[in-house]
Structure formats: structure tokens, C-alpha cells
Structure 1
Amino acid sequence: MKKLLDFLASGKILYDEPSLFSGPDESQILKRMTFLVGLVALCLPIILAIGAGWNTQDGTCFRTSISHFYYAPFLGPVFVGSLVFIGGFLIAYTGEHPVEDKWSSVAGIGACFVALFPTVGSGCETSKVMVARILVEYTQESGPGVGPEIIALPGGDYFELFEKAPALHVIAAAVVFSYLAIYCLIVMKRVIPDRHQIESIMIPSKRRRNILYSLCGITILTCIAILGAESFSILRIEHWDDFKLTFVFETIALWAFGIAWFAKARVFRRLNDPAIPKTPSESPKLRTV
């Protein structure tokens, strides 16, 4: 394990493979994709919250967690599409080390699992409309002559993709958030001498970025700990569901992830490294850590 962490923290390239993109725009392409991933992470909770409050006549409501928006009639595709986009990027992202490449792919698959295997329950007790996105859409009604009765599953839930789907959802979400935290705390903070040091002293912009990466990673881990403690009844907060605290802490974790990847994409000028002139013989290098 120590060797693995040292490899990830060092940023040393231990294998030689041709890059997916060749040419001077390689760095810009990666930065643009990194920016888009951060933007999706920042905007997804905002879009879901605004959409939930915009129109409640069609069964949309403010659900107890981001994952429960899977069941929302209009916002469900937004949730699924955003997670699949992030997952696809993580699968395609190679990084600078084969271990980083593999674990990024595992996290990307986990993000797709979060999107495709729904959590249990609709997340909205007051809503009469719930979309079982993969199979069927139905409206929960009551009274004589209003249609077939919906039979609840054990526990009072009305939809379950298959028996192990909720467990897969939880495991995949834990893998994704854990990866994001570790990536912020180890990989993004790695110091590569020819990029980040002058006379063996870390440049100020890299030091500032590392502080931000640490704050983002700690924030994600804290949110994971709080959500885990609540789900296992270790932590009991009164009116947890009334204040949508699962949604709140998931949002904070996603925003921390988005901000870290904004810094990686060099969105914040004060955190950017000074320009390094290139000689004609110097091949393009990715400088996004």
C-alpha cells in the first residue's frame, strides 16, 4: 500500500505509451474536459434544486437525496446523463501512472453504476408520480375507478430494479466519493520537480493549489463520514429528512470535487503556474496537476 501511495504521489511516469492526442493542443483538450467535469459537478445539484421547486404539478418535488432524483419525471435524465458523463470521463482519463489510470476507470464505472442502479424508495413521500426509468412509468392514485392498484414491495417501496440494485448503488457511490477524496489528497497534490519546484523549493502557485486540494479532499471525506454515520444510525440528527441533509452533504462533496477540478483545469488565475517557455525541440507536456 505504501508503494502504491508513493507511486501516485510522485507523478513519475513509469511506462511509455503514445498519447491519445498528439500535437500542441493536447494540454488544452485535457484542460477543457477537466473544466467540463468540474462544471457538471457544480451545476448538477443546482439544476436539480431549481427544477424541483419550479413546478410541483407534474409530481416533481425536492427529494431527500441527489440519487432519488433518478425517479423525477423530468430531472431523472439530467441526473443519469450527468453521472454517465462524469463516469465516461473518468474511464477515459489516463493520468500519468498505470495505477492512476486503472483506479480512475474503476471510479468511472462506479459513477455509471450510481446513475444506472437506483437507490431504494422515491425520496418524496408527497409525490404521486414516480418514474421507474428503465422499466415503466406509473402514477400512484387512490379511490374507486382511477386505475390499477400499485402493490408496495416489503418496506413500503414501490420500485426496485432488482434485489441487489440498492446495495450496488451504495457501494458504487462509496467507491466514487472515496476515489475523489483520495485523488484530491494524494494525486492532485503530488509535486513533480521539473514542473513545481525552482531550486528544490515549491513554487507559490503549486503551494496554494495544494492547500485547496487538501481542503477539497478533507471536505469530501467529512461528508462521506457524516452520511455514513447517519445511514448506519451512528449519528442521529433531528429532522434530517425535513432539511434534506443527505442532499446537502452530497452537494457539498460534489462542489468540493468540482472546485478541485476547476483548479486542475486552471480556472483560478491566482493558482496558475507562471508560463514556462518551450524550446523548439521540447515536446508538449501535460501541466494540469
Structure 2
Amino acid sequence: HPEPAPKLHQSQEDSNALVMSFLAVRQTLGYLGLFLPASLLVHAALPGGRLEASISDFYYTGMGGVLVGTLVAIGLFLISYQGYAPLPGERLSDRRLSRIAGVAALGVALFPVHRAGYPVCTVAPDTCWIFGAASHPEALHFAAAIVFFACMAAFSLFQFTRGDRDAAGRPRWTPRCTLFILCGTVIVAVMVAMLPYFFAGPVARARMAASHYLFWSESIGVAAFAVSWLAKGRALGSLGRGMARLASRA
């Protein structure tokens, strides 16, 4: 019966295409995560540039478009990410979690942090964005950022490690699983480390802003998110082999 062969071949091609699509989206998210803090650091090092108190504060610099564009791209990729089909009874599947994270990333981009010296809209909110004035409660920005980081931690700690757990649900501590758990733990630690800033008094907050405490904390968290997605997209092995080839030619 020779007929089934083409169907089997087509099924394999479809499966391979799906895997490549998953990997491409994961890698893209990882590279975008690395690009964001790196590009801001490069801008800060250029003549006339400076390091801002937080990643969000770069919205009011010449890098505002890059910041918003990168966050919107991350948000759209997360919303479009299919992930694995939900398991029976699973409430927070890959797809649901990625959509929540994607909407949160868009929220961070579209509801910028307020900044002294810049207008805050109090009337005619429909025209506020046209003139670059903030018309939203600043809490929206921070809430979106918290949800985004929480989702990224959940991906690293739970979703990405599902294939490396035993029947009892315990992690097997393979190098890959360990990396995911490490990245997720770093993201959670960063979220905890940023809490003192929001509860600090004016003097302490000014000192933390001067030391760029939030910027470095956020950058570490974003880098952990990026590394986790690159590992899930199988990009780290390719990067390592590429660097080894470059080193061998040097």
C-alpha cells in the first residue's frame, strides 16, 4: 500500500515546520530581551547620552521609540505564541500565560512611567497621546511590569521545566532544567529586590535613583528572561558553537 507514504512525509514536514516555528519565536523573544538593555547601555555611553534611573525612564530620551518598539514586538510575539496545547484540567497553559504576558508587555509600552517636568494630562484624554502627555494612573505601568515579570518567572520555573520532571513532579536537575530554574529564580529575586524602591522615602528613593538601582535590577531580570527563552529555543548551543568557531580562527 504505497499511498500512506506521502501523507506520512507531509505529517513529518508539518511537525518539523511547527517545531521550527516554536524555536524561531522563542529565539526572537530571547534576542529582543537581550537587545533592549544592551541598546540602552550603548545609547547611554554615547556622547550626550546618560544612564537613566530605570529602563522605563528611557521613554523620555531619544531611545523612547526603541523602548516602545521593542516592548510592543515582545508583546505581539508573546500574544501570537502558540506554545503547547493545554493539558486536561490545566488552567494556566502556555497559550494563556503567553497572552497574559503579551498584554502586560504592551501595557508597559503604552502606559509609560510618569516623569517630573513632563506634562500629565488632566483634560481631553483622547488627545493626550498625540501630544505625548500622560493621562493614565502610573500604577498601570507598574502593574503591567509586575504581571510581565511574574509570567516570565512562571514560564522559566514551571512551563519550561515540564519535560524535565519525574512522575512526582520533581525537577530532574539536568543542565537545561537547572538553567530554567536559575533564570526563574533570578526573575523572582529581581522582583523582590525592586520592592524597597517603591516603599522607600523620598531621600532613599533619590539615592537609589542616582545609583540606577532600578535600571540594573530590571536589566538583570530582562536578561534572565532572555536567556531562558534562548535556551528553550535551542539558541544557546548554536551561539556557543559559533563563538568556538570564531575563537578557533583567532
TM range (shorter): 0.7 to 0.9
In 1: Cα distance, 2:197 partner to 2:26 partner: 32
- 1:53-92 pair list within 5 angstroms: 53-56=45-48, 60-72=49-61, 74-92=62-80
Q: CA deviation at 1:269?
A: 2.8
Does the CA contact (< 8 Å) of 1:223 and 1:250 recur in 2? Answer: yes
Match of 2:180 among 174, 195, 213: 213
In 1: Cα distance, 2:76 partner to 2:195 partner: 26
Q: CA deviation at 1:176?
A: 0.2
> Does 2:212 match 1:226?
no
Match of 2:237 among 269, 280, 283: 269
**Gaps in structure 1 of 5+ consecutive residues:** 1-20, 125-132, 138-158, 271-289
Equivalences, count: 208
Does the CA contact (< 8 Å) of 1:63 and 1:123 recur in 2? Answer: no
Q: CA deviation at 1:162?
A: 1.2
> Partner letter of residue 76 of structure 2?
G
Q: Against the structure 1 CA distance between its residues 40 and 254, is the aligned structure 2 distance closer, same or farther, given a 3 Å change threshold?
A: same
**TM-score using structure 2 length:** 0.74
Does the CA contact (< 8 Å) of 1:65 and 1:123 recur in 2? Answer: no
Match of 1:162 in 2: 135
Match of 1:121 in 2: 115
Q: Deviations over 1:117-150 (max 9, x none)?
A: 11011699xxxxxxxx93336xxxxxxxxxxxxx
- Look up the SS of the partner of 2:207 in the other structure: coil
- Look up the SS of the partner of 1:239 in the other structure: helix
Q: CA deviation at 1:86?
A: 0.7
Does the CA contact (< 8 Å) of 1:93 and 1:104 recur in 2? Answer: yes
> Partner letter of residue 18 of structure 2?
E
Does the CA contact (< 8 Å) of 2:22 and 2:83 recur in 1? Answer: no
**TM-score using structure 1 length:** 0.65
Match of 2:247 in 1: none
**Gaps in structure 2 of 5+ consecutive residues:** 1-12, 87-92, 119-127, 239-250
> Partner letter of residue 30 of structure 1?
F
Match of 1:172 in 2: 144
> Does 2:220 match 1:241?
no
In 2: Cα distance, 1:71 partner to 1:115 partner: 12
Does the CA contact (< 8 Å) of 2:59 and 2:65 recur in 1? Answer: yes
> Partner letter of residue 33 of structure 1?
V
Match of 1:156 in 2: none
In 2: Cα distance, 1:211 partner to 1:192 partner: 9
Percent identity over the alignment is 30
Q: Against the structure 1 CA distance between its residues 172 and 65, is the aligned structure 2 distance closer, same or farther, given a 3 Å change threshold?
A: same
What's the Cα RMSD here?
3.0
Q: Against the structure 1 CA distance between its residues 40 and 163, is the aligned structure 2 distance closer, same or farther, given a 3 Å change threshold?
A: closer
In 2: Cα distance, 1:39 partner to 1:221 partner: 21
Q: Against the structure 1 CA distance between its residues 192 and 219, is the aligned structure 2 distance closer, same or farther, given a 3 Å change threshold?
A: closer
Q: Against the structure 1 CA distance between its residues 53 and 27, is the aligned structure 2 distance closer, same or farther, given a 3 Å change threshold?
A: same
In 1: Cα distance, 2:181 partner to 2:117 partner: 32
> Does 2:126 match 1:135?
no
In 2: Cα distance, 1:88 partner to 1:67 partner: 19
Could you say which structure has the higher strand fraction?
A: 1
Runs of 4+ with >4 A deviation: none
